[in-house]
């Protein structure tokens, strides 16, 4: 399939300073069709009107939905939209790519990782930031390789990589 036939949607901050926006930038450079779903212009991302997102329309015909773990900590409304995107992605046939990155506030790492684990069965590709992998494996009390193996086996995530 040529890159021009690939459609990727991401949910992230309007500033485009998050991992999913980096994925969109790289995919666009390779010729993929990309779209960022975010808050409306002038609206605060953390308290956005998450109900105004038409996920069916946004994901129609898309192959991939890309999001990040830290997005779940951006505020209650952003977290609702984050989860709704993955749920609609399942319904629309999109595969979910999750970038497990570090939250700005490292004291919230357990909360951030917990949000991913709650929805791990909706994730098809999990990329764990190398810095996050070290901290998450310590949090889980296992080595890095064992953590990746457990996520693959218990979470049924086909692709799990640092």
Structural contact between residues 86 and 118, judged by C-beta atoms closer than 8 angstroms: no
**pLDDT tens, position by position, 31-73:** 999 999 999 999 999 999 999 999 999 999 999 999 999 999 9
Residues in the chain: 162
- Mean pLDDT along residues 83-87: 96
Residue 162: the pLDDT is 87
Q: How far is Cα 107 from Cα 149, in angstroms, rounded to an integer? A: 25
pLDDT at 3 over 70: no
Q: Above 80 in pLDDT, residue 83?
A: yes
Residue 82 pLDDT exceeds 70: yes
Domain residue spans in the chain?
3-161
Mean of all residue pLDDT scores within the chain:
94
Domain 3-161 is in which class?
alpha beta
Mean pLDDT of 146-160: 92
Q: In the structure encoding, which two tokens stand for residue 3, read together?
A: 């890159």
Q: How far apart are CA 97 and CA 99, in angstroms?
A: 7
Please state the pTM of the whole predicted model. Answer: 0.92
Average of pLDDT values for 2-29?
92
pLDDT at 84: 96
- Which of these ranges, 2-6, 33-37, 63-67, 115-119, has the smallest mean pLDDT? 2-6
- Distance, in Å, from the CA atom of 28 to the CA atom of 88, rounded to the nearest integer, reads 23
């Amino acid at each position: 399939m040529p890159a021009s036939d690939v459609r990727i949607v991401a949910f992230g901050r309007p500033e485009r300073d998050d991992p999913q926006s980096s994925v969109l930038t790289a995919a666009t450079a390779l010729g993929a069709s990309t779209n960022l779903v975010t808050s409306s212009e002038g609206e605060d991302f953390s308290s956005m009107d998450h109900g105004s997102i038409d996920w069916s329309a946004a994901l129609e015909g898309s192959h991939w939905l890309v999001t990040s773990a830290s997005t779940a900590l951006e505020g209650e409304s952003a977290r609702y939209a984050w989860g709704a995107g993955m749920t609609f992605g399942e319904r629309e046939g999109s595969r979910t790519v999750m970038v497990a990155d570090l939250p700005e506030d490292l004291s919230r790492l357990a909360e951030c990782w917990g949000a991913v684990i709650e929805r791990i069965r909706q994730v098809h590709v999990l990329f764990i930031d190398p810095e996050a992998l070290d901290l998450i494996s310590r949090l889980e009390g296992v080595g890095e390789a064992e953590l990746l193996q457990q996520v693959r086996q218990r979470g049924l995530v086909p692709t799990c990589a640092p």
